[in-house]
Amino acid sequence: MVRSPDPHFVRLATIEYFAAAAVFGWGLWLLVWGSDSAISSAAFAYLRASVEGWGLGPAWRVLGLLGMASGVLYGVAIKINGAGMMWTPIVRGTTCVGAAIFYVNLVYSIMQVQPSSTGVYSYATISVFYACLFVANLDRFAVSLVLIWERLRGLDT
């Protein structure tokens, strides 16, 4: 385990592991409880309708699998980190953006039914958390894009 050189700070990867576990856990929760409980309330009607419009199956199963896959991809990308510098920052960035969009959609769905719900505040805060993680990784993301661009242009020897 690599410790931060300054004991007063936490490494970004530690926070990112929590974020990966959180989105994985949300997906697992949906799959465990299924269609009768997890997102059956009226507050999730908009979310269910939009996901079922994709034609991939019941919303609870699609969202559960997407959440779990996103969490696993994010965790693997954090673990591999520098060894896969061309792709891991891109996976980290896209999973953060995907999670932020997902939670914003939850907020929008709940607001359609009950704007005063604590779910609006809670999920909005979680989406801001993922957006902050994305911004914190922008430098890695930019380096990754430069490496890919150089390889595509034939500048990498």
User: pLDDT digits over 1-21, tens only?
Assistant: 555 566 666 678 889 999 999
User: pLDDT digits over 29-77, tens only?
Assistant: 989 987 767 888 888 888 888 888 888 988 889 999 999 999 999 898 8
- Identify the pLDDT of residue 34: 76
Given pLDDT bands bounded at 50, 70 and 90, which one contains residue 157? low
Is residue 32 exposed (0-12), middle (13-18) or buried (19+ Cβ within 10 Å)?
A: exposed
Percent of the chain with pLDDT over 90: 34
pTM score of the predicted model: 0.79
Given pLDDT bands bounded at 50, 70 and 90, which one contains residue 82? low
- Identify the pLDDT of residue 11: 78
Taking residues 76-104, report their average pLDDT.
83
Contact 60, 34 (CB under 8 A): yes
Q: Structure tokens of 133?
A: 């993680």
Q: CA 51, 53, 56 angle in degrees (round to 5)? A: 70
